[in-house]
Amino acid sequence: MTKKVATKAAVKAYTEMTAEELKNELAGLKKEYERYQAMDMRLDMSRGKPCKEQLDLSMGMMDVLSSGSDLRCEDGTDCRNYGVLTGIDEAKELLSDMMENNPNNIIIYGNSSLNVMYDCVSRSYTHGVMGNTPWCKLEKVKWLCPAPGYDRHFAITEYFGFEMITIPMTKDGPDMDMVEKLVSEDPAIKGIWCTPKYSNPQGYSYSDNTVRRFARLKPAAPDFRIYWDNAYGVHHLYDQDQDHLIEILAECKRAGNPDLVYKFASTSKITFPGSGIAAMATSSNNMEDIIKQMKNQTIGHDKVNQLRHVRYFGDICGLMEHMRKQADILRPKFETVEHIFEAELGGLGVGQWTNPKGGYFISFDTLEGCAKTVVALCMKAGVKLTEAGATFPYHKDPRDSNIRIAPTFPPVSDLEKAALLFTLCVKIASAEKLLKEMNA
């Protein structure tokens, strides 16, 4: 892959400029900012949504079933009717290949893996985990939150009133020294959020050693579970240069911890986000515990939609070919942002960003104390970004530096303008901060 930009003239870092140089720089930046404001842009980049071209790739799904179709599974199940609580066998086989798990250890749900995660927390809260005390009857429940991380994960545990503990993220995954210590010492810690592949927002993938250390955790709480959200498991940007994960359930089994993990995935960013299918892979013991609740919750999820996905993809080869087409759409968008960041900010010392090989986001770190200012400046010029602080528990980034960039939805032409505006706002916020420090 090519991520280099043309060689440019040497630049002077903002931190090396005199106050007079910074003032002159800032005056020019503000004039340029006024030009962007006059463009009257209205662009929402606050969420990682698929673009129209990505959604168009799945339109064939609308044609694989019709009123004349045979809607029976290979075992004779009529997908129009009630039943098949854990999903049709064909869907289990397709999703098991995608998740790298045994189809016998998979439950197929409705359209949202986030809903499945919420259900798991809610079930544990009201009825406990495998016979343990329901969390609602405990004095306190704590949860580990690797950050920067996924804001919707944090929203679930905040909603239930859990005490969320921030775990620093590294390029290899969460700080495992901290995770191991806390989990082994405190029985009030009941879970940890993980996005192990192409993490949200940094695009990091857990190292082999990190996965093995997760599998060998020794929790003080017998009802501790790892919430392993493999949301971007097949969302590569490049055909050859890809990240790969050790499969966590197999590793847990080898480590003598077969029940430690709930592993989630879905087709939400593969087919139609509002009409995909979700799945969870876990141990037989966990499945038995979960199915007790499901029997009282539903008679079965949408089997017609499960069949639609199977008929459309055929098998994992069809699904992976579909994802290569997705990558062809997304790759130029990520590279556009990365090229502009390097061209406009490289050498200035005012920010750092990730260059992920997959997933849906780029993570940007400003100088400390500048993220909220950058997001506000972008908003005033017509580009809405994810709220500063959203990637941390309680929306509180202690350094006020992390911003999640979502390049997937806008056309490349709009993305170029937005990325240029973003770099301009980073420069303004950085120059103002440094001048303020000099004056102080």
How far apart CA 344 and CA 151 sit, in angstroms, is: 29
Could you give the dihedral angle defined by the CA atoms of residues 43, 49, 54 and 58, in that order, rounded to the nearest 10 degrees? Answer: -140
Of 170, 163, 144, which Cα lies nearest the Cα of 226? Answer: 144
Cβ neighbours, 10 Å, residue 69: 13
Residue 205 near residue 234, CB atoms below 8 Å = no
Alpha-carbon distance values, 414 to 6, 82, 345, 364 (Å):
22, 46, 19, 19
Which tokens go with 119? 């259900």
pLDDT at position 5, please? 41
Is 91:304 a contact under the CB 8 Å cutoff? no
Which alpha helices (H) appear in 100-207, and where do they start and end? 113-127, 151-159, 176-185
Residue 201 preceded by cis peptide, ω within 30 = yes
Predicted TM-score (pTM) of the model is 0.95
Integer Cα distance of 408 and 231 in angstroms: 15
Q: What is the pLDDT of residue 11?
A: 83
**Distance separating alpha carbons of residues 410 and 124, to the nearest angstrom:** 39
Backbone angles phi, psi at 371, to 5 degrees: -60, -45
Confidence bin at 440 (pLDDT 50/70/90): confident
Question: Which domains does the chain possess?
Answer: 14-55+320-439 (3.90.1150.10), 72-314 (3.40.640.10)
Three-state secondary structure string covering 362-425? EEEEECCCCHHHHHHHHHHCCEEECCCCCCCHHHCCCCCCEEEECCCCCCHHHHHHHHHHHHHH
Whether residue 6 is predicted with pLDDT greater than 50 in this model: the reply is no
Instruction: Please tell me the predicted confidence (pLDDT) of residue 3.
Output: 43
Provide mean pLDDT across the span 282-300.
96
- The reported pLDDT for the residue numbered 4 is 41
Q: Which two tokens stand for residue 143?
A: 């949860």
Residue 2: pLDDT band with limits 50, 70, 90: very low
Whether 187 has a pLDDT exceeding 80, the answer reads yes
132-141 LR contacts (CB < 8 Å, sep 24+) = 132/222, 132/223, 133/223, 135/160, 135/190, 138/188, 139/188, 140/188, 141/188, 141/190
Per-residue pLDDT reduced to its tens digit, 118-155: 999 999 999 999 999 999 999 999 999 999 999 999 99
**Is the C-alpha dihedral spanning 84, 85, 87, 89 positive or negative?**
negative
Residues 41, 333, 28, CA angle at the centre, nearest 5°?
Answer: 50
Alpha-carbon dihedral sign for residues 328, 330, 331, 336: positive
Least confident piece of the model among 8-12, 130-134, 151-155, 186-190:
8-12
Predicted local distance difference test score (pLDDT) of residue 265: 98
Q: Which amino acid is at 223?
A: D
Which pLDDT score, from 0 to 100, does residue 10 have?
67
Per residue in 17-68, pLDDT (tens digit) is 999 999 999 999 999 999 999 998 999 999 999 999 999 999 999 999 999 9
Query: Is-contact 90 100, C-beta < 8 A?
Result: no
Q: State the chain's mean pLDDT as an integer.
A: 96
Q: For residue range 203-252, list pLDDT tens digits in order.
A: 999 999 999 999 999 999 999 999 999 999 999 999 999 999 999 999 99
